[in-house]
Amino acid sequence: MLPADVANRQACRHALYSGIGIACLPLVLIFSFTRCPKAVITQYIKEATELGKKARALMKTADALHQEERSGNKGRKWRKNVKVVEKELFLLEEDMKALEEMYPQGEKAETAWALTVLGYLAKLVLGLVGLIVSVAWVAHIVIYLLIDPPLFPFLNEVFIKLDDVWGLLGTAAFALFCFYLLLAVIAGAMMVGMRLVFITIRPMKWGGTLMNSFLFNVGLILLCSISVIQFCATAFGYYAQATAAQEIFGHTLESHRGIKYLYKYNLFQYAFVILAGVAFVYYAAFGWKKRKPSGRLVLSN
């Protein structure tokens, strides 16, 4: 595969993931606050009872599938039922975690509840800050990249003004926006991977992530980081002019025969803005809703 083809694939992946992540990342944090649990004893008893019934049903179903495995009946129906049980088990673990957050047990229950509340408040603050950064990113792309000639350097000018205040302040702000874009790419990859069947993403879980999942996500970040650098070198070309990054990821890459027109006509930037708008509207309309508890476990006959 040619280096130009590699760059093209990475840029396409970046436009998809970052466009979705830049819109959904702050909304995920904000909606997490709106869905924060409320410690009500009657609600705790009701949900704990329902989870107990669901756990017993899953255990009974798992035992039946284990008996079928021993008897050698591992056909297509068996594999499908195993996937159903695994999915229900994952949802049960998530419900148990939410229940423990809602009504912590033990000697330090009050402290745990206070930390939970502070955690959701922190998510709200980070979500609002992230929303401002996301809007600034999209506005900068429209003003500086999509409109020819650019209306205003926007964030480039902001970084230069910050450098005038203190030498590293503009560089720190530049790094913050680049790092936020990388976080948006990771968030978009996780959301797309969890929702689309043909893309397999291994979600990481605190205290329950296997080593191969860690390696997979590290590889994903490394692949996306190259396209993030290229995107930032283009978006902040006025601030990063006469630098090695601008020379490598700007002039050299955009002069490749065959793919230079993708950069000349800003196709990736258009895809970024369109996906960000669609993802924002979709997640703002449906992302705030709580996941309804699943009903009776249904297996294939």
For tokens 């594999």, name the residue.
79
- Average pLDDT of span 31-43: 70
Distance in angstroms (rounded) separating the CA atoms of residues 6 and 179: 22
Alpha-carbon span 190 to 183, nearest angstrom? 11
Average pLDDT for the chain: 75
Q: Say whether 17 sits in a helix, a strand or coil.
A: helix
pLDDT tops 80 at residue 6: no
Residue spans per domain, the chain: 3-29+126-286
pLDDT per residue as tens digits for the range 165-187: 887 888 898 889 988 988 888 88
Judge whether residue 254 has pLDDT over 80. no
Which of 17-21, 160-164, 203-207, 239-243 comes out lowest in average pLDDT? 203-207
Say what percent of the chain tops pLDDT 70.
Answer: 70
Considering the entire predicted model, what is its pTM? 0.72
Q: pLDDT for 73-89, tens place per residue? A: 777 787 888 878 877 88
Q: Please state, in angstroms and rounded to a whole number, the distance separating the CA atoms of residues 155 and 174.
A: 9
Distance CA 63, CA 103 (A): 31
